[in-house]
Amino acid sequence: MNEGVTVLDKGVQITQGSLTAQADRGEIHRDAKGEISKVLLTGAPARLQQDLDDGQRMQASASTITYKLSERLVELSGGAQITRGADRLEGALIRYEVGTGRYSADGVGGQVQFSIQPKPKKPAAEAGKGKAE
């Protein structure tokens, strides 16, 4: 295929490794070499999920999801939310780095909601191991 845009309608599903996406509509953008440069997904909402190296699953949803392949960057906009384990982030725009699992967010009027769950406490018997008496 040459440079251009391919449009997909109705029940779009895309998979790349452990990264999967579902949307109502998709656009696949190709550069001058015919390589996929960007995937644009829209839906009510469009959804994305990835199994991470630490065993957790990242799940995200937004009105628009843009995956910039060369940057390995996903941008979620319009009612964007992302969960990883028990942690949850909501904002107008969320950027997710596919390779590292890192994310950042911008909110409307600067407002972002972020809920982080504490790590489980170690049992008392484990907590005292290795200490000299």
Domain of 15, CATH number, reads 2.60.450.10
Residues with Cβ < 8 Å from 64, sequence gap 6 or more?
40, 41, 42, 46, 76, 77, 78
For residue range 118-129, what is the model confidence (pLDDT) as tens digits? Answer: 666 776 655 555
Residue 130 lies in a domain: no
Query: Averaged over 39-68, what is the pLDDT?
Result: 91
Range of the domain at 42: 4-117
* CA dihedral sign, ordered 84, 61, 114, 98: positive
Identify whether 40 is part of a domain: yes
pLDDT digits (tens, 9 = 90+) for 95-108: 988 778 788 887 76
For residue 124, what pLDDT is reported?
A: 60
Percent of the chain with pLDDT over 90: 41
Residue 132 lies in a domain: no
Task: Specify the number of domains making up the chain.
Answer: 1
Quickly tell me which residue has 């999801």 as its tokens: 65
- pLDDT on residue 129: 58
pTM of the predicted structure, to 2 decimals: 0.77
Residue 102 has a pLDDT of: 83
In-domain check, residue 17: yes
Closest CA to 44 of 67, 61, 29, 28: 61
Q: Tell me the pLDDT tens digit for each residue of 60-94.
A: 999 999 999 989 999 999 989 999 888 888 888 99
Cα angle 100-105-111, degrees, rounded to a multiple of 5: 160
Give domain status of residue 131, yes or no: no
pLDDT band at 29 (very low <50, low <70, confident <90, very high): very high
User: How much is the pLDDT for 26?
Assistant: 95
